[in-house]
A = this chain, B = another copy of it.
Amino acid sequence: MKNFKFQNPTKLIFGRGTIANLATEIPIDKKIMLTFGGGSVRTNGVYDQVIEALKKHHFVEFWGIEPNPKVETLRKAVALGKEHKIDFIVAVGGGSVLDGTKLIASAIPCDDDAWDLVLNPNLLKSAIPFASVMTLPATGSEMNSGAVISNLKTKEKFSFYSHFPQFSILDPETTYSLPVYQIANGIADTFVHVIEQYLTLTNESILMDRWAEGILLTLKEIAPKIEQNHTNYDLMSNYMLSATMALNGFIAMGVSGDWTTHMIGHELTALHGVTHGESLAIVLPGTMQVLREQKKGKILQYGERIWGITEGNDEVRIDKTIAQTETFFRSLGLKTRLHELNIGEETVNEIEKRLKQRGSIFGEKQNVTPNIVRKILENRL
């Protein structure tokens, strides 16, 4: 096990009817900005619950943070926050609203442009406190300090790390109105968050392996049931909790991370607007195929413990495990090949070029060069 430091201060408030806790969790003298996405919370009752809980507080509203939040939009929220001397933000919606809010919270007390904060973490100073009412389990943003921000003008999508939410409220009932395709994306995103922290080196941590496998087994068990019934409280509770636990550091203690699949997926989203979960479903089988020697021990362990694949020699088992992983994503209704989205060779060229320009290198062994990324993408054409 590698040396590590772990601390996660976010308070999790989980369960039915918990949005009402906003009333007591935020001091009454705070000047609050509520941040929202496109408006689905108006129709599913979440907006009404938030407004009811905050009826004694002072707040302004900012609407329109889009999926894969754009800095162009977030700058407007920063201006509104400065104008109203906002000192607390509550993100209401999915991971994109919260990701955007993390940048807004950092940019409000700061003179630099928001995109400069993304490009240059050294500019980051304090952030105003923020919290979330999370309605789309997927990104894990509700219990970590990370965000992913896009730039419309430059067609770039980068990670950004600032502060943890002070608290996050998760009411599984708020997920009942999610479209099936968004749930499928969320399950794929959660699954690949775990894979990035697990499908790396063997024998780093017996316990962390078990916990990563615990989330994967949970997703495997609930995914087909959720497809039949996504208004079942227990199923959606387990999905929501799994999404949070997949990316809050709890399965990362003392083990290596990969993140190759995410980094390539971000490029597909930046260039073609591929949804995040689907981009991961497309890329992961390629990452496994191209890095099958390096990841051999862990792929065999994953195949055996998650999918019960124990027959055949190592190469046969690895083939079966990669195929089973792709089958799982397809069972969610996601596409797993680039040609299904009319993405071809020219995109592979463009991504390789971009990564070379940036000097990017990925993976648990820091050996995934732009040329290896090309091979991964070629495997997915």
Contacts and interface: CB of A to CB of B under 8 A. Distances in A.
B1 A241 contact: yes
Interface centre among A1, A7, A217, A221 (most CB of B within 10 A): A1
A88 to B, nearest CB: 18
Contacts of A189: none
B14 A3 contact: yes
Interface residues of A, number: 44
A213 B8 CA distance: 23
Tell me which of A14, A172, A245, A250 has the highest count of chain B C-beta atoms within 10 A of its own C-beta: A14
Given A4-B15, A14-B254, 5 more contacts: A1-B15, A4-B14, A6-B11, A206-B222, A241-B254
Nearest to A216: B210
23 contacts: A1-B14, A1-B15, A1-B234, A1-B237, A2-B15, A3-B15, A3-B17, A4-B14, A7-B9, A7-B11, A14-B254, A205-B237, A205-B238, A207-B215, A207-B218, A207-B238, A207-B242, A207-B245, A210-B211, A210-B215, A210-B218, A211-B214, A250-B250
Nearest to A3: B15
A85 interface: no
A221 B238 contact: no
Interface string A1-26: 11111111111111111100000000
Q: What is the copy number of this chain in the assembly?
A: 2
A17 to B, nearest CB: 8
Interface of A: 1-18, 167, 172, 203, 205-208, 210-211, 213-215, 217-218, 221-222, 233-234, 237-238, 241-242, 245, 250, 253-254
Nearest to A215: B207
A207 B9 contact: no
Nearest to A238: B206
A205 to B, nearest CB: 6
Contacts of A8: 8
Listed residue (A12, A206, A233) with the most chain B CB atoms within 10 angstroms of its CB: A206
Nearest to A242: B207
Contacts of A12: 4-7, 253
A254 B15 CA distance: 9
Contact of A213 (B2, B9, B214, B222): B214
A10 to B, nearest CB: 7
